[in-house]
Structure 1
Amino acid sequence: MRTVRDAAFDVMRQHGLTTLFANPGSTEVALLADLPDDLAFVLALHEGSVVGAATGWAIARDQPALVLLHTTAGLGNAVGALATARVNRAPLVVLVGQQDRRHLAQEPFLAGNLEGLCGEYPVRVETPIRAQDVPGAIGRAAHAATTRRGPALVIVPMNDWAEPADDLPVPAPAALRQATGADPEAVAHLAGLLAEARSPALVAGSAADTEAGWAALTALAERLNCPVWQESFGARAGFPQDHRLFAGHLPGDRARLRETLAPYDLVLAVGAPVLRQYAYGEGPLAPAGTRLALLTDDADEAHRAPVELAVLAPLPAFCAALAERVPARAQAPAIPARTAPPAPPRPGEPLRAAHVLSALAERLPADAVVVEETPSSRPELHALVPARQPLDFVSAAMGGLGFALPAAIGIRMAAPRRPVVAVVGDGSSLYQIQALWTAVHYEVGAVFIVLANGRYAVMDRLAEKHGGKAPWPAFDQVSVRSLAESLGCPARRVTRYDELVSELGSLVATFETRTEPLVLEVAVEAETAFQP
């Protein structure tokens, strides 16, 4: 007898959902027992690691990843990671186990009120009316995850998998195509704004981080001969940061933002929010006389943008059309000077994060993916480690911790020919340290550089900015190296610059081919300055 489970597997194969990230429970055993050989199972030891690894995989492949979560406990543990996936625009198809449909009305043990548990972060949530509706729901979830760029949930009662597939409804479309053209009238409108501007600037955002996006945005920038800024708090790099027109990263507070944008009479954000901030600040986002416009493929982003003109369109095609339409500019723009790398520390001088990042930048291959989660050192990372190719930089768009370790693992699994280096704070690493077990077990050769200062340094600095003393203690006694080794992951601790240079030098030859993960715990001095 052909079952709903059999039909669901066929739909998964149709949509390329053949790698399953999970931390299973009893309500999912009926799906998983005797899994077909062509479906790969990836175990992580916490649901945050499950979703984080799947998010990295989906970002690297630019296609939906398949996730399996265990009823209320599993979905509840994963909510923060699912919110990150939504804001990172990572397409996920998430199957959530539920108790047996036949006695759900009695709220049996392990039953859950699942549909609203993640709030509005999923792009779609469906509990199929009948068992036979499950395969079609998975197909609909795959389309929603792809077109709306986020996690789509399908809640499946545990007995549904064994039900007969003898009355399946018409499924979701086998293929769904989206238009990729640029509307000529919209191109003309935005091109007119750019042509009127005396000193335009572009802001590159995460949504432009594709091969086609980089090429089209670079062509537009070179045609306009204007500065290109990276959005503040961006999760991806939308423009080559070693390009002559790259101006740097926008600050995350209004006063400095207005100062930065003062030279420009028109600022066009491409695939970025307008203009994302951290702490609230008085006054407008842009100085008087600076007009704002937005080009985005995200309808929500367009609806909330405080701009004169928002255009909702596919980014590469629209940027390419703009580059052909706008007049070329010959005048060279003023580009801020690049941050110079720090001099190596003198003997006996403690290591700082900038020393580590500068040494890493000198040795990283151009195609290396840097996954960042070091809040207090992020400005130095941006300044010293430029993104030179698409997918070179990945971070958590939500700002929550626990993303980098599992995401680096998922990226390396999905793109095994690219070196992957996660740069994380020791405090950040503790949120999903158990992800290292997955890297060891599945021979994922990512490198994890942990900047260890034994404290939540960014929180200490923020407390100081508020004029108070932090009530939380340091955690100097925590050894990330020992925790990594307890999970089977090779790890070394570095305390001196010569040790750091030696370790990084030995890694250079193995970045692309290594199948063994490695943690480098680097002792660094807590920084005394921080600007978001």
Structure 2
Amino acid sequence: MSTVRHVTIDLLRELGMTTVFGNPGSTELPMFRDFPDDFRYVMGLQESVVLGMADGFAQGTGRAAIVNLHSSAGVGHALGNLFTAFKNQTPLVVTAGQQARSILPYEPFLFAERASEFPRPFVKWSCEPARAEDVPAAIHRAWLVAMEPPCGPTFVSIPIDDWDRSCEPFAARKVHADRAGDPAALAACATSMAQARRPAIVVGAGVARDGAWDRVIALAERHQAAVWVAPMSARCSFPEDHPLFAGFLTAGREAIVATLSSHDFVLALGGPMNLYHVEGHGPHMPEGCDVWLIGDNHIHAAWAPAGTAIVAQCDRALDALLAGPEPVQRDAPPVRQRLPRLDGAALTDAYVLQRLAALRSPESIVVEEAPSSRGPMHEHLPILRKDTFYTTASGGLGHGLPAAVGMAMARPDDKVIALLGDGSAMYAIQGLHAAAQHGLPVSFLILKNNRYEALHHFGRHFGMQQLVGTQFPELDFCKLAEGHGIVARRAEDAASLDEALRWSLAADVPTLVEAVVL
């Protein structure tokens, strides 16, 4: 009879999870005895980096990735990026070791107490199988739940002595989830949109996840609808050089109402539209505005403060909307005006992003975690092609750097640019090691302003004149990169910036540019 390990390896192969991301400890090692040659093991030097790489890899491939962590200690280290994967709706199967079943009653060293509860609420499903022979079935169920919209991470705790136990063969099942939406509700939405005077569309990350980029363009052009990006959207869902592109919604109640006040119909697609970062007051949407929300996440539909919600995948819902009634005649909305170009007399984050936009290929992939530079990025670094922008949906730091590494592994023919703040980079700087070890030509661009700028911004919001512990001018990212095996250059003015960016973007090895900005 086969062992749990053999049956599980066969299952992982069948499910396409042959790249394993991990940082194993003693309780995980038996999983890797006689590790098969057609599998790839990607070691991370810290568990949060492991989760971030797997997240980037899963988003890049569109398939669930498998992560192997070390008992409670490793899961604890990874929780920040597990939270981000949950908010990103990234399909992951996270496994963690557990001490041998025979000594669990004695609270052994490095065991996990209530292991299946520990990662909640940031996993869709979690368990520790009651029997060793149930491990393959648990992993299969974890994969099914992770891949079912809305996608997300799942968790399985596996005792160390389960892997060598006898196990019957296990046959994987196919599960089809119909997310086409309610036909009558979609028809009503299409009719309302066709009759509106000034319709608007708000796109979220679900548009990109559902491959609906071209359909949204077609719907916007059919209705001459202005297109806004939902607050904190983690993906690119509409070309930012399109005449109907209107801009980005701010994550505040009053700001959203003011921005959408001229519209009598708003369709939010693929994510929450009323996502707030600061306290607000008053209505959630303009008075008299007909609001509809369509996305695959029933949780978003439940907590949305306004509008009629339809749970459906964006691509299928858009097919129904495109087949709706002919719209009334209406003028095109005004074209968005961009800010004047900067001359580079001062090396600001806005100027760095302007030059990156000029020098990079539009097909290159930007994985961003520079939250205090998000506004300048929206103005000076337009995203023009589908599936070329990724950022954290959770707001937690430490995701961007390792996610860029995973993205580069998933899409080796594309140039990946990791756009990072200096504070964000320090949350996961160890991820540089994996990029060097695997020879991934990621361009790491660090916007170094010597402080946690986001905290200074909120300090001003709260009327605080001083913030403790938020300055770090002594950090040297070139030396940090070289210590991890990556070549680096520093840019301190416009000339050295252009030289460094051209060098990095053309390189076929991992590189880092430290841009010292005001």
Q: Confirm or deny that 1:491 pairs with 2:483.
A: no
Q: Work out whether residues 478 and 490 of structure 2, in 8 Å CA contact, stay in contact via their aligned partners in 1.
A: yes
Partners of 2:60 and 2:415 lie apart in 1 by: 12
Q: How does 1:133-532 map to 2 (within 5 A)?
A: 133-147=134-148, 148-165=150-167, 167=168, 171-173=171-173, 175-179=174-178, 181=180, 183-210=182-209, 212-346=211-345, 350-473=346-469, 474-510=471-507, 514=508, 516-525=509-518
Q: What TM-score do you get using the length of structure 2 for normalisation?
A: 0.96
Q: Work out whether residues 210 and 390 of structure 1, in 8 Å CA contact, stay in contact via their aligned partners in 2.
A: no
Aligned letter for 2:511? L
Deviation at 1:291, TM superposition (A): 2.6
| Cα deviations by residue, 1:1-34 (Å, 9 ceiling, x for unpaired) | 5211000001101111100000110001101233
**More displaced stretch, 327-336 vs 304-313:** 327-336
Q: Work out whether residues 237 and 386 of structure 2, in 8 Å CA contact, stay in contact via their aligned partners in 1.
A: yes
Partners of 1:7 and 1:327 lie apart in 2 by: 55
**More displaced stretch, 381-390 vs 427-436:** 381-390
Q: What TM-score do you get using the length of structure 1 for normalisation?
A: 0.94
Aligned letter for 2:10? D
Q: Secondary structure at the match of 1:162?
A: coil
| Cα deviations by residue, 1:470-522 (Å, 9 ceiling, x for unpaired) | 33241101111111111111111111110111122234444xxx2x2111001
Q: Work out whether residues 216 and 319 of structure 1, in 8 Å CA contact, stay in contact via their aligned partners in 2.
A: yes
Aligned to 1:92: 92
Deviation at 1:421, TM superposition (A): 0.4
Q: Secondary structure at the match of 1:409?
A: helix
Partners of 1:108 and 1:25 lie apart in 2 by: 15
Deviation at 1:200, TM superposition (A): 1.2
Aligned letter for 2:436? V
Q: Work out whether residues 99 and 159 of structure 2, in 8 Å CA contact, stay in contact via their aligned partners in 1.
A: yes
Q: How many residues align?
A: 515
Q: Work out whether residues 284 and 306 of structure 2, in 8 Å CA contact, stay in contact via their aligned partners in 1.
A: no
Q: Work out whether residues 345 and 497 of structure 1, in 8 Å CA contact, stay in contact via their aligned partners in 2.
A: yes
| Cα deviations by residue, 1:387-412 (Å, 9 ceiling, x for unpaired) | 22222111110001101100000001
Relative distance call for 1:263 and 1:206 in structure 2 (3 A) is same
Partners of 1:457 and 1:359 lie apart in 2 by: 21
Aligned letter for 1:64? A
Partners of 1:522 and 1:238 lie apart in 2 by: 28
| Cα deviations by residue, 1:411-453 (Å, 9 ceiling, x for unpaired) | 0100111111011111110000000000000111111100001
Q: Work out whether residues 210 and 315 of structure 2, in 8 Å CA contact, stay in contact via their aligned partners in 1.
A: no
Partners of 2:160 and 2:144 lie apart in 1 by: 24
Deviation at 1:172, TM superposition (A): 4.9
Q: Confirm or deny that 1:40 pairs with 2:40.
A: yes
Deviation at 1:186, TM superposition (A): 2.4
Q: Secondary structure at the match of 1:492?
A: strand
Deviation at 1:341, TM superposition (A): 4.8
**More displaced stretch, 267-276 vs 321-330:** 321-330
Aligned letter for 1:299? H
Aligned to 1:120: 121
Q: Secondary structure at the match of 1:120?
A: coil
Deviation at 1:161, TM superposition (A): 0.3
Q: Secondary structure at the match of 2:163?
A: helix
Partners of 1:86 and 1:210 lie apart in 2 by: 14
Partners of 1:492 and 1:326 lie apart in 2 by: 57
Partners of 1:93 and 1:185 lie apart in 2 by: 36
Partners of 2:172 and 2:34 lie apart in 1 by: 26
Q: Work out whether residues 66 and 94 of structure 2, in 8 Å CA contact, stay in contact via their aligned partners in 1.
A: yes
Q: Work out whether residues 194 and 223 of structure 2, in 8 Å CA contact, stay in contact via their aligned partners in 1.
A: no
Q: Work out whether residues 342 and 354 of structure 1, in 8 Å CA contact, stay in contact via their aligned partners in 2.
A: no
Q: Work out whether residues 200 and 265 of structure 2, in 8 Å CA contact, stay in contact via their aligned partners in 1.
A: yes
| Cα deviations by residue, 1:272-299 (Å, 9 ceiling, x for unpaired) | 2031111011111222222321011111
Partners of 1:326 and 1:106 lie apart in 2 by: 68
Q: Secondary structure at the match of 2:342?
A: coil
Partners of 2:457 and 2:72 lie apart in 1 by: 37
Partners of 1:45 and 1:508 lie apart in 2 by: 26
Aligned to 1:528: none
Aligned to 1:7: 7
Partners of 1:486 and 1:356 lie apart in 2 by: 25
Aligned letter for 1:12? L
| Cα deviations by residue, 1:248-286 (Å, 9 ceiling, x for unpaired) | 000122222221111001111000203111101111122
Partners of 1:75 and 1:415 lie apart in 2 by: 27
Aligned letter for 1:130? R
| Cα deviations by residue, 1:58-99 (Å, 9 ceiling, x for unpaired) | 011110001000000000111111110011010001111000
